[in-house]
Amino acid sequence: MLAAQPAVTLIAGTAVVAALDLASKAAAPALAPAAPWLLAPMTNDALSLGIATATAPALVAAMAVGLLAAALVVVRLIGTGRVGVVGCVLLLGGALGNLVDRAATGAVHDFLITGPVVLNVADLAVLTGTVSIARALHRTAGPIAGEPAASAPGTFVSEGR
């Protein structure tokens, strides 16, 4: 069970990240002429950099199920103390921002040029949150059953091989 304060932080933070993402998507078309090397507003009808395509309602449903599943997992992880709230807020807030965008318009609006890929604030939040959670889980993971534990982070225990 998640304590009251982390739960409030998780919910409020998720809403703030989603709101910032949606505001940035709304502002991008007006700002693009001032920074054409950085901003290129476009719509993305597909999912995950074009890997998955389907009808908008099917993608919205899949995204909603994924968001719910992610929320259940992060609530449990926060409750165990294995991960902090910030990474989870970024992951859920970014996912919610893209879900609301797709539900409202049938597509996700990307605008940040990052080399060959055009992203949005939600994508960056999801990526940052995922990396943060993965790092926390890696740090808090115990040794694999039957394997000796390392004496310090970054060190390896040799079995004389």
For 27-59, the pLDDT digits (tens) are 999 999 999 999 999 999 888 777 788 888 999
Domain containing residue 103: 4-138
Tell me: pLDDT of 98 over 90: yes
Catalytic residue among 21, 45, 101, 110: 110
For residue 110, indicate whether it is catalytic.
Answer: yes
Contact 63, 101 (CB under 8 A): no
The confidence band for 155, taking pLDDT boundaries of 50, 70 and 90, is: very low
- The answer as to whether 38 is a domain residue is yes
Query: Of the listed 21, 45, 101, 123, which one is catalytic?
Result: 123
15 is a domain residue: yes
Number of domains in the chain: 1
Is residue 36 in some structural domain?
yes
Residue 110 is assigned to a structural domain of this protein: yes
Per residue in 101-135, pLDDT tens?
A: 999 999 999 999 998 899 999 999 999 999 999 99
Judged by DSSP in three states, 39 sits in strand
> What band does 161 get if pLDDT is binned at 50, 70 and 90?
very low
Structure tokens belonging to residue 81: 């103390």
**Is 21 part of the annotated catalytic residue set?**
no
Residue type, 46: A
Dihedrals phi, psi of 3, to nearest 5 degrees: -65, 160
Q: Is residue 62 part of a domain?
A: yes
Please state, in angstroms and rounded to a whole number, the distance separating the CA atoms of residues 35 and 135.
34
